[in-house]
């Protein structure tokens, strides 16, 4: 106990020191560069100027003060932190021309794609915080898209809606103490980044915004996500590592990820592996989380025959499920629609999965479905207590240990083997 107390005291001193250092950094308030928090003025140029000046003068903190500051894409630079103060909203424009096309990765493939609203590319040590709101205007993007479709029009050469925030090829970065709301598409995209801390975020999106993932962890190494609430219209968190041929070319895994002390409400998944798994996913721990809000599939693995990749050493433990859809969904032929690509020479391998201390009520226990030529291997349940209306469907599964699964169903058998 003494060692734990000393550790807690040490961490408290560390956080206090970080707060002190941040409080002494030079502040660059965007209103000093012409920005207006009237919700009408487009402030892209003024905010970017504050960022550029801050970086050119040795760094500091760019401050968004109280008010609603509308902007297009902004790009943080060397030694620049972003502070969105309590009472402040940084709100995204809905004009596609306010978001340039840049080199990035989207849905597992490197390509030219629409930038994020807030972009942090090739940076080290960046911190985004402050207690305010980043609003992607996703509701307005949806309304705009519906209007264009009704008129038989498109956005022409503009590709894709803007993600809300993207850290790309960064290290030692932190985002914390913010509300992220109504992303136009993915909310927080962590791409090719190492040593990332995500803490105390509130991520919400209207349930009619397509692909409004909460957090996408994409070919990263060393990510810690904690004390975060997510309610969106796709996976709350998705772990990714590239798709098909381009994923094999990049060949960069997603590994060493910890997700803990979080609350996931509505979403298509709680914490999902995939479906972009080609570069491999390994060493992921999801611990001490509550999942409710009619979440579709809290514990989720998805891939396709064209993907390949190894997904291994994944642990879900100390998870409470409160009236969710499925408890478990493993589907290696997920969403086979549209153009079907050629199967990978080596199919996706899923192995060494521990599901421990998971309990609660669900509509269906769910399904574990591997491929004919690559069964799901080595799923172990330990001290799990699930009440469901329907049982657990198994297909192409080997080395399954259900000794620690107490599954009570109101209709049919608890385990269905096909």
Domains of the chain with bracketed CATH: 110-417 (2.160.20.10)
Under a CB-based contact definition with an 8 Å cutoff, are residues 186 and 164 in contact? yes
Determine the average pLDDT of the residues in 109-119.
98
Amino acid 152: pLDDT: 84
For residue 408, what is the enclosing H or E element? strand 405-409
Give me 221's structure tokens. 């190494």
pLDDT band at 400 (very low <50, low <70, confident <90, very high): very high
Strand partners, 75: 119
Amino acid 8: pLDDT: 41
Amino acid 336: pLDDT: 87
Give me 248's structure tokens. 């094999």
Which among 297, 273, 294 is positioned nearest to 352, based on CA atoms?
273
Amino acid 244: pLDDT: 97
- The whole-chain average pLDDT of the chain stands at 94
Q: Tens of pLDDT along 132-188?
A: 999 999 999 999 988 888 888 876 656 789 999 999 999 999 999 999 999 999 999
Amino acid 23: pLDDT: 61
Give me 156's structure tokens. 């022409």
Determine the average pLDDT of the residues in 33-58.
98
Determine the average pLDDT of the residues in 89-105.
97
Amino acid 157: pLDDT: 53
Q: CA Rg, the chain, in Å?
A: 22
Amino acid 300: pLDDT: 98
* Whether the predicted pLDDT of 257 surpasses 50: yes
């Amino acid at each position: 106990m003494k060692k734990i107390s000393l550790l807690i005291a040490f961490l408290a001193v560390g956080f206090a020191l970080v707060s002190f250092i941040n409080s002494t950094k030079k502040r660059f308030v965007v209103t000093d560069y012409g920005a207006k928090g009237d919700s009408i003025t487009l402030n892209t140029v003024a905010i970017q100027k504050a960022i550029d000046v801050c970086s050119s003068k040795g760094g500091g903190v760019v401050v968004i003060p109280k008010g609603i500051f509308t902007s297009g894409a902004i790009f943080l630079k060397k030694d620049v932190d972003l502070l969105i103060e309590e009472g402040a909203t940084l709100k995204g424009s809905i004009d596609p021309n306010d978001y340039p096309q840049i080199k990035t990765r989207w849905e597992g493939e490197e390509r030219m794609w629409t930038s994020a609203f807030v972009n942090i590319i090739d940076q080290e040590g960046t911190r985004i915080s402050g207690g305010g709101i980043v609003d992607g205007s996703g509701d307005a993007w949806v309304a705009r898209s519906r209007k264009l479709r009704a008129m038989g029009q498109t956005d022409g050469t503009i590709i894709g809606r803007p993600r809300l925030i993207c850290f790309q090829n960064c290290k030692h970065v932190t985002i914390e103490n913010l509300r992220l709301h109504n992303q136009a598409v993915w909310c927080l995209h962590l791409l090719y980044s190492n040593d990332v801390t995500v803490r105390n975020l509130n991520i919400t999106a209207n349930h009619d915004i397509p692909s409004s993932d909460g957090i996408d962890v994409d070919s990263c190494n060393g990510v810690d996500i904690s004390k975060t609430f997510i309610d969106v219209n796709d996976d709350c968190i998705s772990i990714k590592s590239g798709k098909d041929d381009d994923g094999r070319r990049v060949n960069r895994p997603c590994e060493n990820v910890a997700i803990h002390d979080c609350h996931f409400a509505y979403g298509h998944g709680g914490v999902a592996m995939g479906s972009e798994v080609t570069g491999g996913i390994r060493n992921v721990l999801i611990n001490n989380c509550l999942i409710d809000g009619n979440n579709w599939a809290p514990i989720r693995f998805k891939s396709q025959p064209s993907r390949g990749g190894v997904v291994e050493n994944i642990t879900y433990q100390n998870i409470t499920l409160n009236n969710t859809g499925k408890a478990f969904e493993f589907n290696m032929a997920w969403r086979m629609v549209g153009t079907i690509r050629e199967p990978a020479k080596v199919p996706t391998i899923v192995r060494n999965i521990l599901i421990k201390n998971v309990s609660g009520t669900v509509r269906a226990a769910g399904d574990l479905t591997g491929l004919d030529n690559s069964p799901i291997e080595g799923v172990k349940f330990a001290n799990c207590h699930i009440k469901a209306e329907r049982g657990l469907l198994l297909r192409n599964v080997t080395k399954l240990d259900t000794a620690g699964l107490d599954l009570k169903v109101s209709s049919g058998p608890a385990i269905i083997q096909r």
